[in-house]
Structure 1
Amino acid sequence: MENGYFFTGFPGFISNQLIREVLRKNNGKGKVYVLVLPSMTEKAENEKKFIISDFALAEDRFEIITGDITKRGLEIEPQKNAYLQESVTHVFHLAAIYDLAVPKDLAFLVNVEGTRNVNEWVRNLRNIERYTYFSTAYVAGKREGVLYENELVKPAEFKNFYEETKYEAEILVDALKAEVPVTIIRPGIVKGHSRTGETIKFDGPYFIMNFIDRLSFMPFLPRLGKGETVVNLVPVDYIIEATAYLTFSEKGAGKTYHLTDPKPYKVSELYEMMMAELMQKTPKGSIPIGLAKAGLNLRGFRKYLGVEKEALDYFTWRGYFDSTQAQEDLKDSGIECPDFKDGISAMASFYKQNKHEPHYQIKIM
């Protein structure tokens, strides 16, 4: 039978880029199904047109399914669901709330209960060949030191509800490995494309760029803290290419992968690279992280800077992701994580071109 690729999280950036990579990898063969909230149908239709055009697909090779992962059975119409249970061979579950400041109840509803519902739906697929789930390397919470891919240990504490709910969701998916060929992907902090700089929103490392840009009128800018910890930033193209390869590789079944930078930079180094690209300056002095956090407790101040206060927790956290398994299984693919330094120019250029576009900026609460 032909492959049927089912995606949640469409028309989100990572989901639509992964669809393109899956089609490229399979020479445009197979049929794409995307689960879309009713409120996102128009946007999904527009993105569908681009993909169909880019790959010269027949209209019936890409189908939008309205539904909702927070509902049992994903709220898919029964007749359509019966058809999907026979037709879907590969599931890519990306739908989640990624906001570091997400409230607890909403995070649990979407990230945990939503994943529970997707798992139950996957169990009923008669021809499933691979279930690929997007987790995060930060399921480690506040555990520090070297963190391994084969570990799924509940930490004493999480930095935010995003981390906590992704951990709880991964527990559910990991348990499914005994029944279904599962591949769990744990990305680091995702940034824009390493060559084009393209991204869909300015969060994660872009908070640093917002900080630098909003204070660029000052005669000099200090660092945030000592900057001796590392922050694991990974370009979206590496995540996409590696995920597609591992999904269709026999080696990927039953494994969890850290798609992280094996040679991450320190916060101080990242800050210097960003400031050099945005301002052609170097930082002078430093602001203690505690003082910065106190300032970001003021809603007006953090809104002006365009920085979520939760982001600062990653500037002092001393965790290091071991990605030995991922590197080993990608060895023959030619896929490697690009050096952040090589992509900083494209990243900064895209940021400067789009920093005033409201839809790129995260709503700071």
Structure 2
Amino acid sequence: MEYGYFFTGFPGFICNQLIREVLKRNELNGIVYVLVLQSMMDKAVKERQAIISELGLKDEAFVIIEGDITQPSLMIAKDNLEWLNEKVTHVFHLAAIYDLAVPRDIAFTINVTGTKNVNILVKGLTHLQRYVYFSTAYVVGKREGTLYETELIRPGSFKNHYEETKYEAEVLVDKLKEEIPITIIRPGIVKGHSQTGETIKFDGPYFMMNFLERLRFLPLLPKLGKGEAFVNLVPIDYIIQATTYLSFLEKGAGKTYHLTDPHPYRAVEIYSFLMLELMNKKPKGTLPLSVGKWFLSIKPLRKYLGVEKEALDYFTWLGYFDCTQALNDLKGSGIECPDFKAGLKPMTSFYLKQKDNPKYHIQIL
């Protein structure tokens, strides 16, 4: 039977890269179906054409379906649902809101209700071979210590509504593991491509670079707190390659994978690496994190610095992701997470080229 790949989250950067990798891995066999919001249709049409041209696909091998995961039946017309139920073999659910500062009601509607609706669609697919759900390693909330892929434990609290709603959504998917073949992907904090530095937005570690760039005029810059926490940064190319491999690996069904850096660096090390690369300086002194949070509680200051105040919570959170299951199942594939320092120059070079381009900067509220 011909493969039918159904994706949510198109034309997002991770989704469009994953589509390319899935098609290449399967020698362009199969038809791609992407669910697209009406408001994203123009961008989706352009990205579809780019993929068709790049891979030499036939026009009918890439189908755009207008819809919305937050609506019943994903707002897909009934006749379209009927033929999708017969055609789709693999579902990749990536659509979500990833902003750390997102209000709870918006996060819940998109991340939880949206996933519930996708689950209903998936359960009706006649020829389903794999349902791949993109979660996050940070469903652990404020739990600390060593955190395992085999666990899905509700923490006492979460650092933000993004974490909470992604946890709730993963619970919904995890419950279906006994009924259908599911692979859950939990990435760390996604950064740009390890070789090209390309990314779609400047968040996560790029907040550090915004901070350093805006304050580079100062004669010295201190560290922010002790910075003892491990910050798990993972390049997009590792996420894409590992996800594709594990999604078609027979023993990957029924498993959850931490696609995290097995050898992460501490926050203070990453901050120092970035400062040296961007400014050829080393940090001097220490600014208490409480003072940093106070500064970022002032809206004009955090907008000027280009830093979400919620990001500072990851400088003090003492969790460590065990990724043994992912590493074991990736053995023999040639797919490994590159060392953060190996991708440092491409990362900073891309940032410096695009630092004045507003399309890469997220809105700081």
- Could you give the per-residue CA deviations for residues 51-91 of structure 1, whole angstroms, max 9, x where no partner exists? 00011000000000000000111110111111100000000
State the shift of 1:157 in Å: 0.4
Q: How does 1:195-234 map to 2 (within 5 A)?
A: 195-234=195-234
Q: Which amino acid aligns with 2:75?
A: E
Q: Secondary structure at the match of 1:258?
A: strand
State the shift of 1:303 in Å: 0.1
- Could you give the per-residue CA deviations for residues 226-274 of structure 1, whole angstroms, max 9, x where no partner exists? 1111100000000000000000000110000000000000111101110
- Partners in 2 of 1:130 and 1:252 — Cα distance? 9
Cross-structure match for 1:329: 329
Q: How does 1:343-362 map to 2 (within 5 A)?
A: 343-362=343-362
Aligned length: 365
- Could you give the per-residue CA deviations for residues 300-354 of structure 1, whole angstroms, max 9, x where no partner exists? 0000000000000000000000000000000111100000000000000000000
- Partners in 1 of 2:102 and 2:321 — Cα distance? 24
Q: How does 1:123-142 map to 2 (within 5 A)?
A: 123-142=123-142
- Partners in 1 of 2:280 and 2:51 — Cα distance? 38
- Partners in 1 of 2:146 and 2:126 — Cα distance? 39
- Partners in 1 of 2:295 and 2:268 — Cα distance? 20
- Partners in 2 of 1:141 and 1:94 — Cα distance? 20
Q: Which amino acid aligns with 2:332?
A: D
Q: Secondary structure at the match of 1:33?
A: strand
Cross-structure match for 1:253: 253
State the shift of 1:32 in Å: 0.4
Are positions 1:27 and 2:27 aligned together? yes
In structure 1, runs of 5+ residues without a counterpart are none
**Aligned residues: CA RMSD:** 0.4
Cross-structure match for 1:63: 63
Cross-structure match for 2:15: 15
- Could you give the per-residue CA deviations for residues 10-41 of structure 1, whole angstroms, max 9, x where no partner exists? 00000000000001101111000000001111
TM-score, scaled relative to structure 2 = 1.00
Between the two proteins, what is the percent identity of the paired residues? 66
Q: Which amino acid aligns with 1:21?
A: E
Q: Which amino acid aligns with 2:310?
A: E
Q: Which amino acid aligns with 1:32?
A: V
State the shift of 1:159 in Å: 0.2
Q: Secondary structure at the match of 2:183?
A: strand
State the shift of 1:163 in Å: 0.1
Displaced runs of 4 or more, over 6 A: none
Are positions 1:44 and 2:67 aligned together? no
Cross-structure match for 1:107: 107
- Partners in 2 of 1:196 and 1:36 — Cα distance? 27
Are positions 1:83 and 2:83 aligned together? yes
Cross-structure match for 1:279: 279
In structure 2, runs of 5+ residues without a counterpart are none
Cross-structure match for 2:167: 167
Cross-structure match for 1:268: 268
- Could you give the per-residue CA deviations for residues 281-302 of structure 1, whole angstroms, max 9, x where no partner exists? 1111111100000110000000
Q: Secondary structure at the match of 2:185?
A: strand
Q: How does 1:136-155 map to 2 (within 5 A)?
A: 136-155=136-155
- Partners in 2 of 1:153 and 1:17 — Cα distance? 31
Q: Which amino acid aligns with 1:144?
A: E
Q: Which amino acid aligns with 1:90?
A: H
- Partners in 2 of 1:65 and 1:229 — Cα distance? 43
State the shift of 1:175 in Å: 0.3
- Could you give the per-residue CA deviations for residues 103-151 of structure 1, whole angstroms, max 9, x where no partner exists? 0000000000000000011000000000000000000000000000000
- Partners in 2 of 1:298 and 1:285 — Cα distance? 23
Cross-structure match for 1:289: 289
- Partners in 2 of 1:265 and 1:39 — Cα distance? 39
- Partners in 1 of 2:218 and 2:362 — Cα distance? 24
- Partners in 2 of 1:182 and 1:129 — Cα distance? 9
State the shift of 1:277 in Å: 1.0
TM-score, scaled relative to structure 1 = 1.00
Cross-structure match for 2:157: 157
Q: Secondary structure at the match of 1:332?
A: coil
- Could you give the per-residue CA deviations for residues 185-208 of structure 1, whole angstroms, max 9, x where no partner exists? 000000000000000000011000
Cross-structure match for 2:342: 342
Cross-structure match for 2:178: 178
